A = this chain, B = another copy of it.
């Protein structure tokens, strides 16, 4: 498993990323200051560093420079919007990529994978949760092609709907929390008046149809989350 270090003073963002990266099977650690981060890179054995250019005490570029003085570990920089200058500088100093804020966790994950791919460091050839196929009752999903069928006929789900279903079915029989689901599927936490996930749930349920007795395949656990009933 790849171990990733996040150096960013924004604790909230760090938590968010940690959660999301965890769901993508990455191990993560965080440092909220340049000096601390640098120390951790020196001592720890990380596979990749995510580094914010805007750091309170020590500039991100300096941190990168310091890192490069003793290590060739891949670094992805997080830059503020339109920070062209920093970007060029970052690349010249040896960052592997950069990502302008704001970005979605999905984008970041795509970059991380791209970096590992470029480096030929593809450990991703090992276990591939991607290639999973799941079947519960008459519903069948295949992650590799991102399709879902009921009795063999395509359900024509959108990406988000498929993603919800995939997450729920993988955890069939146990409750998946709302916030966790939103994070994985929409790439963000839900504010209290964000009804987006509810709408997707509604649409998904309609497409899935009911099981016998008009019972729903997806059960709502009020105040917690959702549960896919195991047949």
Contact = CB atoms under 8 A, between A and B. Distances in A.
Contacts of A170: 117
Interface string A87-113: 010011011110000111111001101
B104 A91 contact: yes
Interface in A54-111: 72, 74, 88, 91-92, 94-97, 102-107, 110-111
- Chain A interface mostly: mixed
A147 interface: yes
Interface in A167-220: 170-171, 173-177, 180, 213, 215, 219-220
Interface stretch (A1-9, A29-37, A39-47, A124-132): A124-132
Given A104-B91, A106-B74, A113 B124 contact: no
A112 B213 CA distance: 33
A144 B231 contact: yes
Contacts of A91: 102-104
A212 B185 CA distance: 27
Contacts of A102: 88, 91
Contacts of A175: 106, 110, 113
A14 interface: no
A140 interface: no
A119 to B, nearest CB: 6
A177 B110 contact: yes
A215 B107 CA distance: 25
A27 to B, nearest CB: 18
Contact of A105 (B94, B97, B225): B94
A159 B23 contact: no
Given A88-B102, A96-B106, A106-B224, A117 B171 contact: yes
A120 B113 contact: yes
Contacts of A95: 104
Contacts of A104: 91, 94-97, 223-224
